[in-house]
Structure 1
Amino acid sequence: MGDRLTFAYGAGVDISYRIVGNGPVPVVFIHGFAAALTTWDDILSLFPTERFTLYLFDLKGFGFSSKPRAGSYSIEEQAAVTAAFLEAKGLSRVVLAGHSLGGAIALLVTLQALDRGETGLVSRLVLIAPSAYPQKLPRLMGMLRIPLLACIGMALIPVRTIVRYTLARVFHDKGAITPERIRRYESCFGRRGMAGVLIRSARAIDPESYGAITSRYGEISVPTLIIWGSEDRIVRIGQGKRLVGEMPDARLAVIDGCGHNPHEERPRETFAVIVDFLGAGG
């Protein structure tokens, strides 16, 4: 579904992306931490190609994108990558869909567009369990922030073991942790240079920096759909309830019996609430 393409983001940094469909509604997907554009594979085929054009890209350092040793892997840098992608594709009036850390990036991109006066860049937001507020870091992120422990662990522990450990904490329905899904994440975790990217990305997450962003959520007036799994142990649903109360035009959809990745664990239910939301105007 869609050839793998690249665009240049700065000197020597190529960002991997795919385009699926040819419809009039552009939807740009931003994956979360320790993932790649393949995280959306389960939900892609559900979108009618004649109505939507889906843009998926690997954040800097993730998936098939370049993994430079120099430079930043902060949320601000990934927001800059996202903005550069939108500009490179000449997109406007986009539906910006972000999961977990990708949701935080989507919020920051929207706020930065408002600061530039680009009020027509983002038409709608779809935020799936976004890490919108400071919180205690998940265990894997916490371990990655300890340099020696992270380096030893990434060098000695098999990639498949790390993937199984992570998915067991992310998914509520353990039956969704299939061999195919494990292989999908292995392709993300196992690429050369990935260990350094994960360590540097985890260390770049500064909970205190969220303060300046969280105080501005009330400025985002675009219609927003917030999706949460009822059994999410990574980012608790209380964040979703808080966020929907602070944004002027937001609604919260809860997927029962689901963990942190509704688009993978419950793709049909997640698609249903997204298409219903977009059906109110696209």
Structure 2
Amino acid sequence: MRKNRLWKIAGGIFAVILVIVLIGPFLVPVPPLENTVPAETLADEDSRFIDVIGINVHYKSYGQGKPVFILLHGFGASLFSWHEVTTPLAEYGTVIAYDRPAFGLTERPLEWEGENPYSQEAQVELAIGLMDALEIEQAVLVGNSAGGTIAMLTTLKYPQRVQSLILADPAVYEGGGAPAWIRPLLGTPQMRHLGPLVARQIQVRGPELVELAWHDPSKITPEIEVGYQKPLHVADWDRALWELTLASRESGLAERLGEFDLPVLVITGDDDRIVPTEQSIRLAGELPNAQLVVIPQCGHLPHEERPDEFMQAVTSFLSEKQQ
């Protein structure tokens, strides 16, 4: 009798825990974002939008002629990240900077059929789709951090479309989102409900993360702060960021570096605390045809913190290619 009673008590406790686990998350309120607006209302005078495989992509174009440079920003950034180098880079050809899905002013789909538009595979197709839409046959891909990851994956799948690579502190050896064992949990209805709350932490920690990316945070101007905060006024940015989190995977690039037979320039700061400088040095050594430039007193964003030195490295690289 006593044993049966204990089993009943244990069963009751388990049932309560199960209800809390299954139902509790839905009881946590997720209030709608305040003061958000459609992306188009935040566009600049030189902003452009184009439909690429069903997604309204925000981009800007500079210069003319060949070569064509396609700029891919990193996580938490937008095409604004390139604002210091678009004009000098345009002296050498056409420059296309665009907002990757989940960032900037590019459309943030929350429903879709087929491939998750925030996955690495879909982002590769978006990069090529943008080139197709703009009638660009071949381009130099310029990627920073996670944007460098997409640039490299695009090169592997469409080598005939990529002339060369310029990689600023690319994320190759680490990253890839949550560990595989926890991904099923993140995709449950409970976590999809709570996910936007988790994503909203970037709004709180954003300034801290930007400072972490710089060697000298005192150089971060109010213009830069506004540039990074602006996309956080776009409707559903939190839900899109959570979908990107769910779609994140390891790239597998580290095992395929021998397949890159095109010219590659790897640029890194000597004080990168996000993608450690040593990783970029290692990458340049493991790529078959790579040059390495380490910029002193510079963090994770050499094109922002040290644009002159960044352009010197790019200019030298382009000059050698023409010889």
Q: What TM-score range do you get, normalising by the shorter chain?
A: 0.7 to 0.9
Match of 1:106 among 151, 154, 167: 151
Whether 1:228 and 2:273 are equivalent positions in the alignment is no
* Aligned residue in 2 for 1:74: 119
Match for residue 201 of structure 1 among 215, 221, 244 = 244
Alignment-derived partner of residue 46 in structure 1: 88
Secondary structure of the residue that 2:88 maps to in structure 1? coil
- After TM superposition, the structure 1 stretch with the greater mean CA deviation from structure 2, 177-186 or 71-80, is 71-80
Counterpart residue type for residue 231 of structure 2: C
Whether the 8 Å CA contact 1:170–1:259 is kept in 2: the answer is yes
Q: Which amino acid aligns with 2:145?
A: S
Structure 1 outlier segments of 4+, above 6 Å: 145-149
Structure 2 residue aligned with 1:14 = 56
Cα 1:78–1:217 shift into 2, 3 Å? same
Question: 2: CA distance between counterparts of 1:48 and 1:10?
Answer: 27
2:138 is aligned, of 93, 105, 110, to 93
- For the 8 Å contact 2:195–2:239, the answer to whether it is kept is no
- Name structure 2 gaps, 5 residues minimum: 1-43
Q: Which residue of 2 aligns with 1:60?
A: 101
**What are the residue-to-residue correspondences of 1:28-43 with 2, within 5 Å?**
28-43=70-85
- Asked if structure 1 preserves the Cα contact closer than 8 Å seen for 2:50 and 2:57, the reply is yes
Alpha-carbon shift at residue 246 of structure 1 (Å): 1.9
Please report the TM-score for the alignment, with normalisation by the length of structure 2: 0.75
* Cα offset, 1:98, TM superposition: 0.4
1:260 to 296, 300, 305: 300
> Equivalents in 1 of 2:304, 2:298: separation in Å?
10
The root-mean-square deviation of aligned C-alpha atoms, in Å, is 2.4
Which blocks of at least 5 consecutive residues in structure 1 are unaligned?
Answer: none
Shift of 1:214: 2.5
Residues 177/70 of structure 1: CA separation in 2 closer, same or farther (3 Å cut):
same
TM-score by length of 1: 0.86
2:5 paired with 1:5: no
Q: Do residues 244 (structure 1) and 284 (structure 2) align?
A: yes
Q: Which has the higher helix share?
A: 2
Deviation at 1:23, TM superposition (A): 3.4
Indicate which of 180, 183, 195 corresponds to 2:223.
Answer: 180
Matching residue of 2:40:
none
Structure showing greater radius of gyration is 2
Q: Distance in 2 between matches of 1:253 and 1:242?
A: 12
In structure 2, distance between residues paired with 1:33 and 1:158: 11
Change (3 A) 1:5 1:200: same
